[in-house]
Structures are given as structure tokens and as C-alpha cells.
Amino acid sequence: MTAIRIRDAADLLGVSDDTVRRWISSGRLAASSDAGASTVDGAQLAALARERAVAPPDDDGVLRSARNRFAGLVTDVTVDGVMAQVRMQCGPFEVTSLMSADSARELRLAPGSVATAVVKSTTVIVETKRDDL
């Protein structure tokens, strides 16, 4: 079992420590004690994160192979010749996309625009902390 401290669990879910404590009090999450600090089970936390995940609406009837969709706000658009760099803030994550300048203009992307970043990749790198550090 991976034990995650309440503060870290709150950060991972984007909620306050008090919210996690309320979920523990109400039975939504189970807590245990690790050297005096309250912790929650990582697998249970992952299940709660999936349950709370809200995907952008996909009500246009189009089926897609790309499952990673992040709704957010455009924070910056830099056009340089035929290419544009578009930065978005999608929750706690910043997503940067390179696209043609024509596409950025056609989508009318500007700071403050609401947009969805759709990510399809053949390579995803996952990192974790070493236990011996």
C-alpha cells in the first residue's frame, strides 16, 4: 500500500486539506496513521481522483481515439511566420501547442479564449521518486 499524507493527497486532488479530512470523517476516504501522521491509501485516492475527474463535454457525436482532453484558457499566443505557439492553463497544468499560424487564426485563439487541448502521443514518460532518497 502506498501511504499518502493528507496534505499531499489534497494537492494531488486540487482540494484543501480540510476537504480531505471531511471526506475521511464522512467515510468517503479511509485513513490510517503512519508515525503519527494521518495518511490515505494511494489506490483509494486514485479511484477517487478518477471519480472526480470531469472531462470536457463531448456532445458533438464524434468518436475519437484521443482520450486525453484538457479544458482550459488560452494564456498566450505567439505567431512567428507560418507557426504559432499557443499556451493554455488547464487546471494546474500548463499545456503548450505548436500549430500552424493559419490554424491559430482560424480558431481565433487569443489570451482568454476557452479551448480544449486534445493530446494523442505515442510516448508518455512516467516519473516517480526513488524510495531510497
Comparing 124 with 91, the larger pLDDT belongs to: 91
Comparing 92 with 83, the larger pLDDT belongs to: 83
Report DSSP state, residue 130: -
Instruction: Indicate the SS3 state at residue 61.
Output: coil
pTM: 0.58
* Cα-based distances in Å from 82 to 75, 101, 127: 20, 5, 34
The pLDDT value given to residue 90: 85
Residue 86 amino acid letter: V
Comparing 49 with 103, the larger pLDDT belongs to: 103
The pLDDT value given to residue 22: 95
Backbone angles phi, psi at 27, to 5 degrees: 90, 0
Separation CA 29–CA 44 (nearest Å): 7
Instruction: Name the segment(s) of the chain with CATH classification 2.40.50.100.
Output: 68-119
Report DSSP state, residue 55: P
Q: Domain 3-52 adopts which CATH fold?
A: Multidrug-efflux Transporter Regulator; Chain: A; Domain 2 (1.10.1660)
Domain 68-119 has CATH 2.40.50.100: yes
Instruction: Name the segment(s) of the chain with CATH classification 1.10.1660.10.
Output: 3-52
